[in-house]
Amino acid sequence: MYLPPHFEETRPTELHRIIAEHSLGTMVTTGPQGLDANHLPFLLEPTAGEHGRLLAHVARANPVWTEAKTGDDVLVIFRGAEAYVSPNWYPSKHEAHRQVPTWNYQVVHVHGRIVIHDNERFVRGVVARLTRTHEAAANPDAPWQMGDAPTDYLDRMLAAIVGIEIEITRIEGKSKLSQNREGRDRDTAAAELDVRGEMELSAAMRNAHK
């Protein structure tokens, strides 16, 4: 990833926030047909091992779990908030007309080694944790639980998936948030994004300069 120093995101709390709030990651692997990308909801364990780990599962029918071997290098991409930024939003543009459009965004690249878990106990644990995490936000008053499903049905569903673990070796993040613009230009761009409902991105722009 092209990463100018002024856009490099090194704050662990911000990197972990982006992963947690945008947990549908793109897992890139290399197999017999070359590069492959799968889109999976991941759970981050930041304190596991030296750099943390990611947990997920795939359909047993998905060939990725047989084509990617335990120990292979993988890349998982988490795309955070993003939006177009017009030069008309900058006060400096109306004075000198020396501004061009851009795109602000946040993204995290997680590098690691894949571990395949064709193991019912592991899969059940991953599904339970993913369910608790997302049901807490989706249905806080009456969250769905695995015990709500009939045992035989749930057993069939679990048998149809395979567990994925990513042992993280490196995390790199990019927060392109107008750090290279004048303060007044950043402020007005963030205010315009607020008007357009892009509050996560505008908040990130303001927090990047604290």
Q: What is the pLDDT of residues 175-200, one digit of tens each?
A: 999 998 888 999 999 999 999 999 99
Residues 56-92: tens digit of each pLDDT: 999 999 999 999 999 999 999 999 999 999 999 998 7
CA distance 107 to 101: 19
The full set of domains in the chain, from first to last, is 5-82+103-180 (2.30.110.10)
Contacts of 65 (CB under 8 A, 6+ apart): 58, 116, 118, 162, 164
Distance of CA 94 to the CA centre of its chain: 37
Between residues 94 and 198, the one the model is more confident about? 198
pLDDT score at 209: 67
Q: What is the largest CA-CA distance in the chain?
A: 69
pTM for the whole structure: 0.93
The better pLDDT of the pair 210, 10 is held by 10
What percent of the chain is modeled with pLDDT above 90? Answer: 89
Confidence bin at 30 (pLDDT 50/70/90): very high
Please tell me the distance from the alpha carbon of residue 119 to that of residue 162, in angstroms, as a whole number.
Answer: 7
pLDDT at 93: 62
What is the structure's pLDDT at 160?
98
**Which of 92, 93, 85 has its CA nearest to residue 190?**
85
Task: Tell whether the model's pLDDT for residue 210 goes beyond 80.
Answer: no
pLDDT at 183: 84
How many Cα atoms within 13 Å fall on the side-chain side of residue 189?
30
Question: Two tokens at 66?
Answer: 């047989």
Average pLDDT, the chain: 94
